[in-house]
Amino acid sequence: MTSLPEQRPRVGLFVTCLVDLFRPSVGMAAARLIEAAGCDVVVPRDQTCCGQPAFNSGDRSNAKAIAAQTISAFDGCDYIVVPSGSCAGMLKAHYPELIEGNPEAEEKAHDFSNRVHELVSFLIDVRGLSEVPGAFTGTVTYHDSCSGLRELGIKNQPRKLLTSIKGLLLSEMPECEICCGFGGAFSVKFPDISNAMVEKKTASIAAAEPDLVLAGDLGCLMNMAGKLKRQGRNIACRHVAEVLAGELDEAPIAARVE
């Protein structure tokens, strides 16, 4: 009896609404990395947003409906991979608590949750990736997004992959684990506080003297990039997947398109 060749896992990419709308190049970079980790990528059309705006604003019933829709959209995927700690946390930690009451749906939600991974932790913890396609020369600093760090335990994985890139120097900023002040709707509901928080963050970033700020969440990155730009600081911002995948053709976040 001959053994069958190893099947390439089928990975559903949950691209997140912000990447879909603002920075599709991050989605392309994510797909490239997942493929580099020996998987096939599919992008279900029935995905929209993870539902956090509803969930965190107290609209549980809409959050639940969006959760159910997203879970069904990824039927048949071995893994669901998300280029955001915040949205991955929503899918992994909060969908099972939202879907309650119907045992069949609950089981489906738990099964779904077990298959969900944040992109960088998927590459390392699930696929054991140690080399990435990206190349970069310069100094970067990494901001730990809150949900990725505290809900999913993502801390060393991005640093491990980044420091595997020759010519890339990682310079840690002080207080890299403190919230940038984005918080989704928080930044709109409490813009003054959000602004004060991101001001502290950009000061921390500047202290690391990087060429480039990286993070795993586009929400945080848009906030930090928007502030750095307003302050006239010459520090670029990109999603960590862009550097890891070597997708650097697009201008950095908030930077002028040349």
Partner 1 sequence: MQPTSHDFKTNARAALSDRQLQEALSGLPGGLVAQRAAARARLPEFDDLRDYGRDLRNHTLDHLDLYLEAYESKVIATGGHVHWAETAEDACVAILRICKAADAKLITKGKSMVSEEIGLNAKLQAADLDVVETDLGEYILQIRNETPSHIIAPAIHLIQEQVEDDFRRQHQHLPKDRPLDQPAELVDEARKILREKFITANVGITGANFLVAETGSSIIVTNEGNGDLTQSLAKVHIVIAAIDKVVPTLNDAAALLRLLARSATGQEITSYTTFSTGPRRADDPDGPQAYHVILLDNGRSELLGSEFREVLRCIRCGACMNHCPVYNAVGGHAYGWVYPGPIGAALNPGLIGVKEAGSLANASTFCGRCEAVCPMRIPLPKLMRRWREIEFEHGETPFLTRFALRSWAALARWPAAYHLISRMTVGTLKLAAGRRGAFTWIPFASGWTSGRDLPAPQGRTFQQLWAERQKTAALLTPTNKEAA
Q: Scanning residues 49 to 88, which ones bind partner 1 (CB under 8 A)?
A: 49, 51, 53-60, 62, 65-66, 69, 73
Q: Contact between 90 and partner 1 (CB under 8 A)?
A: no
Q: Which residues within the stretch 110-139 sit at the binding site for partner 1 (CB under 8 A)?
A: none
Q: Contact between 95 and partner 1 (CB under 8 A)?
A: no
Least distance in angstroms from the C-beta of 2 to partner 1 = 23
Q: Which residues within the stretch 160-199 sit at the binding site for partner 1 (CB under 8 A)?
A: 175, 177-179, 181-184, 186-199
What is the C-alpha separation between 105 and 111, in angstroms, rounded?
10
Between 153 and 163, name the residue whose CB sits nearer to partner 1.
153
Binding partner 1 by CB under 8 A: which of 109, 147, 214, 244?
A: 147
Q: Which stretch binds partner 1 (CB under 8 A): 1-9, 39-47, 74-82, 102-110?
A: 39-47
Number of residues engaging partner 1 in binding (CB under 8 A): 74
Hey, how many other C-beta atoms are within 10 angstroms of the C-beta on 21? 11
Least distance in angstroms from the C-beta of 219 to partner 1 = 10
Contact between 79 and 117 under an 8 Å Cβ cutoff? The reply is: yes
Q: Which stretch binds partner 1 (CB under 8 A): 46-54, 98-106, 116-124, 130-138?
A: 46-54
Crossing angle for the helix pair 60-73 and 103-115, to the nearest 10 degrees: 70
DSSP string for residues in 33-58? HHHHTT-EEE--TT----SHHHHTTT
Q: Which residue type, as a one-letter code, is found at position 180?
A: C
Between 56 and 164, name the residue whose CB sits nearer to partner 1.
56
Least distance in angstroms from the C-beta of 51 to partner 1 = 7
Residues in contact with 246: Cβ distance below 8 Å, sequence separation at least 6, in sequence order: 32, 132, 133, 134, 135, 136
Least distance in angstroms from the C-beta of 243 to partner 1 = 17
Q: How far is CA 191 from CA 80, 123, 198, 223, in A?
A: 33, 35, 10, 11
Between 168 and 181, name the residue whose CB sits nearer to partner 1.
181
Q: Which residues within the stretch 194-223 sit at the binding site for partner 1 (CB under 8 A)?
A: 194-200, 222-223
Q: Contact between 251 and partner 1 (CB under 8 A)?
A: yes
Q: Contact between 146 and partner 1 (CB under 8 A)?
A: yes
Between 15 and 165, name the residue whose CB sits nearer to partner 1.
15
Q: How far is CA 24 from CA 34, 117, 130, in A?
A: 15, 19, 25
Dihedral angle of Cα 8, 48, 253, 247, to the nearest 10 degrees: 20
* Residue with token string 């119907």: 102
Between 66 and 109, name the residue whose CB sits nearer to partner 1.
66
